Structure 1
Amino acid sequence: MKLPNRVTINEVILRDGIQLEDKILTVEDKQELVNLLLEANLTNLEFGSFVHPKAVPQMANSGELYELIKEQKALNLVALIPNLKGAETAATHGVKRVNFVFSASNTHNLQNVRQTTEQSLERLKDIKELCKENEMNLEVSIATSFGCPFEGEVPLNRVKEIVNKVTELDVNVITFADTTGMANPKQVYKFVAEMKRTFPKQSFNLHFHNTRGMGLSNILAGMEAGITSFDASLGGLGGCPFAPGATGNVCTEDVVHMLHNMGIETGINLDHLIEASKRLKEMIGHDLSSYVLKAGKSDRKYSVSAEV
């Protein structure tokens, strides 16, 4: 197995993680989670989204949260933006890193942002110009890269054509997102290997959902193909509000536990991460899908009862 010595984890609990939750976290709740993640030495955080509050009310206080945490030098903070208006709002708050999301699937993109994929690519040019004027780093996430719940298979060549247009704008990172958990490890390896071969100078990140239980195996396939940066969500919360059955991001503590057991560094304190997940469970008010939170770390030892 060809595996990296170190992997970067990008935490998305405060955006993708909570955007489907019935309970809307206050800005104080979110700030508490940020502090707990800092204690766990987590450094990369998608703190929210500048989307219309009627569409995703859970994100309505993203600007307020940024004002509270922007001086945390240990954090690399990024905001999701769905359009130029979102980028403009981010700029007014002084956000320096934004992630523009659109879909490889036309049908999903129309459901999500009411534009075709081609229209989103045109908007990306305007967003790039605004980011340049405001000294903002621009990243791009391509949703439904591995399949669409409405269209089914998304051809690899279609995604390559999109990436070719995106790379012409010189964006920092391109994320391939498995929006509804349709990917499998063989597909991921082939997909990533082809992207790295075709675009050797471009930095890539992967975003998997665990909807069908293949999140960790897909991360392993991504690592074998040469990716060293992955999104994950504390407690395994999350999903896309515009795609049926999309619940369940790959769980941060499960990912970190797997990587550490394999001798791959993340810089994250797993014990503190588990404590953060416990607090998240209290805030949200229901069980989480985290395996490590339920079973404990694999090096946990149990006492033998007298009856055994």
Structure 2
Amino acid sequence: MTVIRDVTLRDGLQLAGTVLPVAEKIALARELVQAGVPELEIGSLANPRLVPPMAGTLEVVGALTEAELERCWVWVATPAHVRRALDAGARNLQYCLSVSNAHNRANLGRATETSLAGLPGSIESVLAAGGRIELCLATSFSCPFDGPVDPGRVVAIANDPRAAGAADIVLCDTLGQAVPAEVGRLVRRVRAETPCRRVVFHGHDTWGQGLANAFAAVAAGAEMVDGALGGLGGCPFAPGAGGNTATEDLAFGLRPDWLTPESLARLVLQQEKLLAALGEAPRSRAAEAARATPPVFRWAGGFAVRS
């Protein structure tokens, strides 16, 4: 069964013009867990002066229980980030770097090789704390500055011995420019040519291919796909990137065991509340359909229970 990870509280909020209060972030994380979402990102250690919506991430970590944190991931990009996150109580860290040097410099202010050099110590620290760490490869398909990315470079980084110990590898269509055939080829190649670990696909819906790309990734063997409520998101250092694939759309299409009409309604209600708070337009087709479809269709019947 493919895992759906919700990334609303990290990637979903990055470009939001409104900073969500910490208490509301905590409440949303708990609502997602209670709805049955098995894994979620709850924030980033990115500098809040550069990415203001990420302020308060460590406060969110500190407020959650150990059981809740077992299902939560925090985005990090340096060994210093790793130490701060672990000290706050986080145990699942997503160590991110860009396959493209140009994007890594724009996003993190350093070369990809420098980011890779910090990976072994970060892995050691996380494993010593009893946590999990995944290697997240931004711009796995295209770079906003250099154009198409060579799949061979993705495979080479995935095979770098400094990544030994990473539990997952995340292939990111950061710009949302990939198409299903490309996604399927890269996922299959990474599974066949790199160490055995969970393969995650993180897609954006810039060109309307987010859902199709996620399904192609699953068909090629990806064990987890990322989405955000209402299709929120985008990278502040990737001009032209659109929002994430909507979590509600992924859930409706993949039908994970935890999804019921009631839990789908719960997700729709949460995205409506969040989008209203942020002043953002809805992008989820499943949310729109659930509101418009007669309750005789079982997937639209959850609202009667929730009301």
TM-score, with structure 2 as normaliser: 0.90
Q: Which residue matches 1:13?
A: 8
* Superposition deviation, residue 99 in structure 1: 0.5
Measure the CA separation in 2 of the matches of 1:283 and 1:54: 21
* Change over 3 Å in CA distance of 1:266–1:146 after alignment to 2: farther
CA shift digits 1:223-276 (9 cap, x unpaired): 11111311111111001000101131010001111123xxxx242321211111
Conserved? CA contact 2:117–2:162, under 8 Å? no
Contact 1:177 1:208 in 2 (8 A): yes
Determine which of 283, 287, 301 is the counterpart of 1:289: 283
**Which of 59, 63, 66 is matched with 2:61 structurally?**
66
Partner residue of 1:180?
Answer: 175
- Whether 1:226 and 2:213 are equivalent positions in the alignment is no
- RMSD value, Cα: 1.9
| Matched residues, number | 293
Q: Would the aligned equivalents of 2:75 and 2:94 in 1 still touch at CA under 8 Å?
A: yes
Of 229, 232, 237, which residue of structure 2 is paired with 1:237?
Answer: 232
Following superposition of structure 1 onto structure 2, how do residues 201-220 of structure 1 map, counting pairs within 5 Å? 201-220=196-215
Which residue of the other structure, out of 15, 22, 27, is the alignment partner of 2:22?
27
CA distance in 2, matches of 1:18, 1:223: 25
What percent of counterpart residues are identical? 33
Aligned in 2, Cα 1:170/1:35: closer, same or farther, shift over 3 Å? Answer: closer
| Residue 3 of structure 1: aligned partner | none
Q: Report what 2:299 is aligned to.
A: none
Deviations 1:164-192 (A, max 9, x none): 01575221111000001011111111111
- CA–CA distance in structure 1, aligned partners of residues 280 and 155 of structure 2: 40
- 1:31 alignment partner AA: I
Indicate yes or no: 2:160 matched with 1:162. Answer: no
1:35-114 to structure 2, matched below 5 A, reads 35-73=30-68, 76-114=71-109
Greater RCO (CA < 8 Å, at least 6 residues apart): 1
Distance in 2 (alpha carbons) for counterparts of 1:193 and 1:133:
31
| Contact kept in structure 1, 2:69 and 2:90, CA below 8 Å | no
Aligned to 1:280: 274
Q: Any unmatched runs of 5+ in structure 2?
A: 297-307
Aligned to 1:305: none
Distance 1:251 1:59 in 2: 20
Structure number with higher helix proportion: 2
Report the alpha carbon displacement of residue 67 of structure 1 after superposing the two structures with TM: 1.3
Distance 1:135 1:38, change over 3 A: closer
Q: Deviations over 1:188-237 (max 9, x none)?
A: 11111111111262221100000110001111111111113111111110
For residue 271 of structure 2, what is the amino acid of its counterpart? S
Give the gaps of 5 or more residues in structure 1. Answer: 1-5, 303-308
Closer, same or farther: CA 239–166 of 1 in aligned 2, 3 Å: farther
Q: Measured at CA, do residues 104 and 115 of structure 1 come closer, stay the same or move farther in structure 2, by a change above 3 Å?
A: same
State the AA in 2 paired with 1:165: D
User: Quick one: distance in 2 between partners of 1:23 and 1:39?
Assistant: 25
Amino acid aligned to 2:130: E
Cα gap change, 1:163 to 1:219, in 2 (>3 Å): same
